[in-house]
Amino acid sequence: MNPEYERWTKPPFDEETRRELLALTDEKEIEDRFYKNLSFGTGGLRGILGAGTNRMNLYTVGKASQGLADFVNARTKDGSIVIAYDSRHGSREFALASALIFAANGIKAYLFEQLRPTPELSFAVRLLQATAGIVITASHNPPQYNGYKVYWSDGGQIVPPYDMGIAAAIDAVGDYTNIKKIGEEEAKRRGLLEVIGQEIDDAYIAALKSLSLEPEAIAKCARELKIVYTPLNGTGNLPVRRILRELGFRHVYVVPEQEAPDGDFPTLAYPNPEDPKAFEYALRLAKEKDADLVLATDPDADRLGVYAKDTVTGEYMPFTGNMSGLLIAEYVLSRRAAKGLLPKEGKGALVTTIVSSKMAYEIAKRYDLTVIEVLTGFKYIGEQIKLLEETGEHTYEFGYEESYGCLVGTHARDKDAVAAVAMLCEAAAFYRTEGRTLWDQMQTIYRQYGYFKEGLCGVTLGGADGAKRIDQMICKLRDCPPEQIGGEAVVAVRDYECGLRKELGTGGSSPLELPKSNVLYFELENGWCCVRPSGTEPKIKFYYGVKADDGASAAEKLEDIGSALMQLAV
């Protein structure tokens, strides 16, 4: 029997934890719970709820908080940490427990009174000039998951060297008995726990309203435009409804079955706006109300999924994350250009990731912007905002990634679905004044910049065996890269783990500028694809994209590459 399992079935572990573990009879289940410590990755913790070292519980969360407290105290004498949480099971308990651990370590904790979106946490860290922030969320993962994301003083998710430093501090905590504790009343009495809420909400909404570019268009069309919205039982309901109401939109219909916060996500197996199944109830309501737009935010309201009506067919058409991100980018940049608000001579920056649509380069060219490409993950986009401000070489104009996330403005340093909703609805109103729907505008964008199409597929492999198989797949592709994928010749391979780009034809190599990461990128003759293990799920992911002269040709090329990638995963 696993010795760590045996230890967890005895004091000082609490009775409920011991009872849960003693009831287990499946050896594989016990192995999965204890074969490793839940790893503190590049953004924090994420895992299945339950007892065990490889699970999200008060002990693993407490150890992470103690380690973060030690890391903060090693750098400042007057540290403070802002804490937010979502609707998931355990979120409130983990948030309060973390606040009291910080307080026990002499660090002031600002705890939101109720659940709040992740982007508001990012905003609050900067507003309160805090040392760090955490949000308890598993984003779009299934209901049995929860997570712990860490932000630094710039409002962005932690990046090197902070991520590695915090991970080392957590490891150094050692035994769970070394976690410091204090009571809630004592923490408040000593001024080390402050509950926050309305004042942060007001400042956050004011920041979002200041991003509006065409208020006249909203005033003209707001009473005509019909919007269906679902928060998927997460944190978006109140802030999304408030920003749309204060901007002037009048017809916003919220899906009743998915309105109230609920960690069971009773209508969904997977509360992810990337999944068409998440829109079943919203599309039903949209048809009933004859809505123009159908919007969904994930449980922590940093991702936005979109459907818009095609007035020709009457059907509601889905937007990928690339499509919605690029549509918002085109709207924001075109309106800023029209108002003379964009910098000249490439001084403005459009920031995106290596796995996002290459149409970003065409849009940037039109508006004389510089494209900055970063590794997968919005934390790297947020990091660029800080770096651009420090160097003064460029100004941040827009950032987006393919996974349904973008950031208009710099009020936050993470993707913000509440702001994206506001800007997308404004864009819908503006294009309506020109006689176009959002779907019409998307087709205009394709005709103008080219038919860029992107895809994503993957294989989920849970447990210890699954982790080994994912490692084996990537090692095989690294050691023996394919010469062609889906009929497209592989021109070069970028291996971000070793930091080299290798041309297959000549064998020549050159260094890569981005940080090292377990990522392989294949440059194809007429497209690209990228392979990486997921940082949030037990999954290997394949991203890919093409460009063609028309939509049908692009779709055909894309299907060939996607099929070939899935064969490589066998």
Is residue 12 within 8 A of residue 181, CB to CB? The reply is no
Q: Is residue 139 annotated as a catalytic residue, yes or no?
A: yes
Q: Are residues 165 and 249 in the same domain?
A: no
Q: Are residues 151 and 283 in the same domain?
A: no
Q: Are residues 165 and 264 in the same domain?
A: no
C-alpha span between 84 and 102 (Å, rounded) = 14
Tens of pLDDT, residues 382-426 = 999 999 999 999 999 999 999 999 999 999 999 999 999 999 999
User: What pLDDT, on the 0 to 100 scale, is given for residue 570?
Assistant: 66
Q: Are residues 500 and 473 in the same domain?
A: yes
Q: Are residues 55 and 14 in the same domain?
A: no
Q: Are residues 103 and 218 in the same domain?
A: no
Mean pLDDT on 204-210: 98
Three-state secondary structure call for residue 559: helix
Q: What is the largest CA-CA distance in the chain?
A: 70
Nearest to 536 by CA among 68, 135, 39, 36: 39
Q: Are residues 268 and 319 in the same domain?
A: yes
- Under 8 Å CB-to-CB from 389, ≥6 apart: which residues? 396
Q: Are residues 472 and 397 in the same domain?
A: no
User: What pLDDT, on the 0 to 100 scale, is given for residue 153?
Assistant: 98
C-alpha span between 559 and 552 (Å, rounded) = 11
C-alpha span between 429 and 223 (Å, rounded) = 10
**Domain end among 169, 196, 223:** 196
Is residue 255 within 8 A of residue 280, CB to CB? The reply is no
**Domain end among 449, 482, 504:** 449
Q: Are residues 182 and 261 in the same domain?
A: no
**Domain end among 427, 449, 471:** 449
User: What pLDDT, on the 0 to 100 scale, is given for residue 537?
Assistant: 73
- Under 8 Å CB-to-CB from 313, ≥6 apart: which residues? none
C-alpha span between 65 and 133 (Å, rounded) = 11
Is residue 121 within 8 A of residue 82, CB to CB? The reply is yes
Q: CATH number, domain at 555?
A: 3.30.310
Tens of pLDDT, residues 51-70 = 999 999 999 999 999 999 99
C-alpha span between 216 and 223 (Å, rounded) = 13
Neighbouring CB atoms inside 10 A of 498's CB total 12
Structural domain containing residue 70: 36-196
Residue written as token pair 């909404």: 205
Q: Are residues 464 and 429 in the same domain?
A: no
Q: Are residues 344 and 439 in the same domain?
A: yes
Annotated active-site residue in 65, 80, 98, 139: 139
Tens of pLDDT, residues 222-259 = 889 999 999 999 999 999 999 999 999 999 999 999 99
Tens of pLDDT, residues 427-482 = 999 999 999 999 999 999 999 999 999 999 988 888 778 888 898 899 999 999 99
352: left (phi over 0), alpha (psi -120 to 50) or beta: beta
What's the total number of domains in the chain? Answer: 4
C-alpha span between 285 and 276 (Å, rounded) = 15
Q: Are residues 520 and 431 in the same domain?
A: no
Residue written as token pair 């009020």: 411
Nearest to 140 by CA among 403, 519, 416, 413: 403
Tens of pLDDT, residues 74-118 = 999 999 999 999 999 999 999 999 999 999 999 999 999 999 999
- The model's pTM is 0.95
Q: CATH number, domain at 178?
A: 3.40.120.10
User: What pLDDT, on the 0 to 100 scale, is given for residue 538?
Assistant: 80
Nearest to 160 by CA among 266, 78, 41: 41
Could you list the beta-strand ranges (E) of 375-505: 395-401, 405-407, 451-460, 484-485, 488-495, 500-503
Query: Please, what is the average pLDDT of the chain?
Result: 95
User: What pLDDT, on the 0 to 100 scale, is given for residue 194?
Assistant: 98
